[in-house]
Structures are given as structure tokens and as C-alpha cells.
Chain A
Amino acid sequence: EIVLTQSPATLSLSPGERATLSCRASQSVSSYLAWYQQKPGQAPRLLIYDASNRATGIPARFSGSGSGTDFTLTISSLEVEDFAVYYCQQRSNWPWTFGQGTKVEIK
């Protein structure tokens, strides 16, 4: 099973700041990595798929990069609605797996 390790566990930032979230895979997943945002009491929302493709309706301030084992989700300028938990997910090998999440909280 491919293990995805996200860092940091918590990111404390202010609105307008840049957020950089990391996801590292235990083996190469090529570019088969997605990012999701989840707010309390809600289902996850797809942000980025295949490492760098924004899903429909996702603002341009969200961007993804990386390949192989190291990936990054960047939020260029945090809006209040961006404070949430973010998960990465690989679809290279079954079982598809998620990282443990990074919480972006208001400083």
C-alpha cells in the first residue's frame, strides 16, 4: 500500500498569506495525485487532479505541482473560506490512499 505523508500537520496563517502544503508518497505515483479540501460537516471537494490540473470551478489561487514522490499544493493568497483541512490522494495503485491531512487555520 502506498503511504502518503502530509506536512505540516497544521499550518497557522493569516488571510492574504501564501500557503504551501506538502505530500510525500512512499513510492512513485507518477502524476496520479489529487488534492481535496474539507470543511467541518461537509464532504471533501476536489481541487486538483493529476498533480496540477484544477478541477472545474476551482479558483486560480489554488495550484498543484510535483511528480514521482513529492507534491505541493499552493494557495497563493489565503481567503477566509480557504481555512479548512486538505488531503492528498493517489490513484497509482490500489488501494487508492489518502494522506492524513493538513489543517490550515487562521493565525
Chain B
Amino acid sequence: QVQLVESGGGLVKPGGSLRLSCAASGFTLSDYYMSWIRQAPGKGLEWVSYISSSGTTRYYADSVKGRFTISRDNAKNSLYLQMNSLRAEDTAVYYCARDLGTRVVPAAIPVYWGQGTLVTVSS
């Protein structure tokens, strides 16, 4: 069955960096677009970044553009989010999610989600 497991979250000081990882299993990662979506404590959902199946096309929310980088290693069945220059407002649970559509017809509909990893930015 499809499984997504995030790791790499933790407590970091403002201005610091973290790299989140998402280990994918139960499907062929190279067939799907993938996303990072976050949720601040007690708040709603925000789409952070979206990457094509090959990794050549990447989208970023304005709130993270220039600070975060999404990447993937299909051979290692892994998705990543490099987060630099972290701010207090980046504090959230970060979810990795797989698209409903395929690399031929992407959909931007996250159907499978990981359990999330908490990032806390505080001094």
C-alpha cells in the first residue's frame, strides 16, 4: 500500500536551516508529481511547493520562494524540502503528499499524505 513517511523536523533558531525528507513506498515515485503542504498550529493548510515527476518543474508559494528548495531522488524513492533562512512563521507541521494524477496527466490533487513532521522555529 502507498506509504509516505516524513522526517527531519525539529526545533531550529530563526535564520537556521533544516532539510525535510519523505520516504515513499508502495508505488513508483517517478510516475507522480509530489507536494509539500504545511499547517501552522491550530491553523489551515498552505501549499508550500509542488514538483513534477522528473523534478524539472517546481512551484513555490510566495511565502517561501528563494528560501525553500524542493527536490526528489526517484532512484531513492525520496522527496526533499531544503529550508533556509527559517522564520517564526514557518513553524508548522509539514506534510508530504502524492498527486492523484500521473506524470502524464498531473492533477494537483493530493490523495495520499504522510503523517507530517513538525518544524518549530524559535529562539
Residues of A within 8 A of B (CB): 34, 36, 43-46, 49-50, 55, 87, 89, 91, 94-101
Contacts and interface: CB of A to CB of B under 8 A. Distances in A.
A101 B44 CA distance: 7
A46 B44 contact: no
Interface in B41-66: 44-47, 50, 59, 61-62
19 contacts: A43-B95, A43-B113, A43-B115, A43-B116, A44-B45, A49-B109, A87-B45, A89-B45, A91-B109, A95-B47, A95-B61, A96-B47, A96-B50, A97-B47, A98-B44, A98-B47, A99-B44, A100-B44, A101-B44
A46 B110 contact: yes
Interface secondary structure of A, over-half rule = loop
Given A87-B45, A95-B47, A43 B111 contact: no
A45 B113 CA distance: 8
Contacts of A94: 50, 59
Given A44-B113, A95-B61, A49 B100 contact: yes
Nearest to A91: B108
B9 interface: no
A27 to B, nearest CB: 17
A51 B110 CA distance: 15
Interface residues on B, range: 10 to 19
A46 B109 CA distance: 8
B88 interface: no
The 8 closest A-B pairs by CB, nearest first: A43-B113, A91-B108, A98-B45, A96-B47, A49-B109, A46-B111, A100-B44, A96-B108
B59 A46 contact: no
Given A87-B45, A98-B45, A43 B114 contact: yes
B45 to A, nearest CB: 4
A44 B95 CA distance: 10
B107 interface: yes
Contacts of A99: 44
